[in-house]
Amino acid sequence: MRMNQVFAGFLICGLVVGAGCSSSMKGSGSSWFGGSSFKVQAYETKTLPNGLTLIYVKDESLPKVEIQAMVKTGLRQEAKEKAGLNSLVASLLSQGTSTRSAVQISDAFNALGTEFSASAGVDAVVANADALSSDADALLALFADVLMKPTFATAEVNRLKSQRIAALKRRIDNPGNYSRRKFSEFLFSGTSYSRDTAGEVETIQALRQTDVIKHYLANYRPNNTIVAVTGRFDAAFAKKVEDVMGAWTSREIKPPAAEQFPVTETLSVKLVSKKGLAQAQVLLGRPMIPRTHADYLALRVANEALGGGFGARLMQRIRDDLGLTYSVYSSLGSNQETGYFQIATFTKNPSTGQTLKEVLKVYETFINEGITDKELASAKAQIVGQYPRGLETADSVASTLMSLNLLGLPLSEIEAYPGRIEKLSLKEVNEAIRRHFKVGALKALVYADRAAVGTQIQEFSPIVETAR
């Protein structure tokens, strides 16, 4: 079984449409770029009367069925002083319901050869479980019980709080993960996206059972949830899914408060220091346009040329030419309300300053000169060529469709995406670079031992913070 992150199948012909369901939307399953034999698996979507969105993706290759659920609740749905609440609620879903104890739930899933997993991201909680198709009815009953009827017993809340606090105290031991957390805090300072989904020791300690229950009731509603069913199943099972999920009571969902996201206009460097670190983690970036912006795909291509792979500029210069690191890459990410651009690498302590300066040089050239025709062709080929790999299974198709829904994009984007990439011109890409990037307008974080690297980056007048 696998856990989905951050978010078509064989068309279900003759599927019984539940009474009161909206008209279904079906993916065409057609080829989406010139001459390719790959086809997005067909899919069907429905909206139940209670507002729940259903996605069906049929796959007869294995006698297996999987149920996924995405609940649209993340960092923006929890108060700053209750950081980690959303993640704690997700972890507590399977720790007792009105009909089963935590042990009974675990045993029931184990009897099906599976387990229930729930993971909280910055914008949504994703849960999933799978089983043999012959056990589909039992899987549905268990999954619905956990999703719709958790009780959040005080003893379970306190037990998971203790586990979470212990894990938070250990997070500093992983330099890569810790530096990424601190970078998000720096990049999105003052907003919900600056917080760790797991929370902080102090905020977790302060959470109570009443906080957990209130958060669940406010956000875990059918009209705030997408459920995907994938694998080998028939129309009768699809009807059962609609009956079970259709019994969930809807409730008005209060939208999170609007936030003003930071604008990065100058270079700002922060040094987070921990004694004894033998190498430095170096991250640079800036808030960026959301996935729904018209220029996003042009920047996706630009990013591929800058730092998307071994042939990209950053890797060629920082690794191949200068030998400063084993890996350096850039990425373009998307949240519900905004996006972000990031460059990440690591290096030995003595080369920290040089690495930061060389990365800045590559970034500046990228903005001033744009990318070339050759880089454009290579980036397009890389993006379009890799795209089918992420859609090889029915569950990955369902996850992609759920993510498109979460980000406010039409589901048709799953098929349109490669063609839209291929149509981009060099002029469009380079104009997008100039519109959304600015020389020196970055936030940079170095996670290292100040005694070893401080003098190398002192010209940047870094903000200094001690890791804790």
Average pLDDT value over all residues in the chain? 92
Judge if 444 and 300 occupy the same domain.
yes
pLDDT for res 127:
98
Mean pLDDT score, 362-378: 98
Sheet containing 268-273, strands listed edge to edge, beginning at the edge strand earlier in sequence: 328-334, 339-348, 279-288, 443-448, 268-273, 463-466
pLDDT for res 262:
87
Euclidean distance between CA atoms 91 and 30, whole angstroms: 39
Q: What is the share, in percent, of the chain residues with pLDDT greater than 90? A: 90
Residue 363 covered by a domain: yes
pLDDT for res 36:
46
Domain boundary pick from 246, 281, 313: 246
Judge if 236 and 317 occupy the same domain.
no
Backbone φ and ψ of 254, nearest 5°:
-80, 120
Judge if 189 and 283 occupy the same domain.
no
How many other C-beta atoms can be found within 10 angstroms of the C-beta atom of residue 213?
A: 15
Euclidean distance between CA atoms 42 and 15, whole angstroms: 13
Judge if 223 and 369 occupy the same domain.
no
Residue 252 covered by a domain: no
CB-based contact 220:73 (threshold 8 Å): yes
Residue 185 covered by a domain: yes
pLDDT for res 27:
61
Partners of 46 in the beta sheet? 54
Mean pLDDT score, 361-373: 98
Judge if 129 and 278 occupy the same domain.
no
Residue 257 covered by a domain: no
User: Domain containing 54: what range?
Assistant: 25-246
Partners of 136 in the beta sheet? none
Number of structural domains, the chain?
A: 2
With cut-offs at 50, 70 and 90, classify the pLDDT of residue 38: low
Judge if 241 and 276 occupy the same domain.
no
pLDDT higher than threshold 90 for residue 142: yes
Quick: pLDDT tens for 383-440.
999 999 999 999 999 999 999 999 999 999 999 999 999 999 999 999 999 999 999 9
Mean pLDDT score, 141-150: 98
Residue 18 covered by a domain: no
Sheet containing 64-71, strands listed edge to edge, beginning at the edge strand earlier in sequence: 25-26, 44-47, 53-58, 225-231, 64-71, 125-132, 117-120
Judge if 206 and 273 occupy the same domain.
no
Q: CATH number for the domain including 297?
A: 3.30.830.10
Judge if 80 and 216 occupy the same domain.
yes
Mean pLDDT score, 217-223: 98
pLDDT for res 39:
79
CB-based contact 20:50 (threshold 8 Å): no
CA dihedral 449, 455, 459, 465 (to 10 degrees): 30
Quick: pLDDT tens for 270-280.
999 999 999 99
Low-confidence winner among 129-133, 263-267, 372-376, 426-430 (lowest mean pLDDT)? 263-267
Judge if 172 and 73 occupy the same domain.
yes
Question: Which residue carries 């028939």 as its tokens?
Answer: 234
Quick: pLDDT tens for 157-189.
999 999 999 999 999 999 999 999 999 999 999
Residue 2 covered by a domain: no
As given in the structure block, the two tokens for residue 135 are 């056990």
Judge if 55 and 197 occupy the same domain.
yes
Residue 220 covered by a domain: yes
Quick: pLDDT tens for 247-261.
999 999 999 998 999
pLDDT for res 130:
98
What DSSP assignment string belongs to 327-361? -EEEEEEE-SS-EEEEEEEEEEGGGHHHHHHHHHH
Q: What is the share, in percent, of the chain residues with pLDDT greater than 70? A: 92
Mean pLDDT score, 63-80: 98
CA dihedral 220, 223, 224, 227 (to 10 degrees): 90
Residue 420 covered by a domain: yes
Domain boundary pick from 214, 246, 278: 246
pLDDT higher than threshold 60 for residue 297: yes
Mean pLDDT score, 228-247: 98
SS3 sequence of 216-275: HHHHCCHHHEEEEEEECCCHHHHHHHHHHHHCCCCCCCCCCCCCCCCCCCCCEEEEEECC
Judge if 313 and 401 occupy the same domain.
yes
pLDDT for res 26:
59
pLDDT for res 289:
96
Mean pLDDT score, 359-365: 98
Secondary structure (3-state) at 151: coil
Mean pLDDT score, 102-106: 98
Judge if 49 and 136 occupy the same domain.
yes
pLDDT for res 37:
47
Residues 116-135 as b/e (b if ≥16 CB within 10 A, e otherwise) read bbbbbbbbbbbbbbbbbbeb
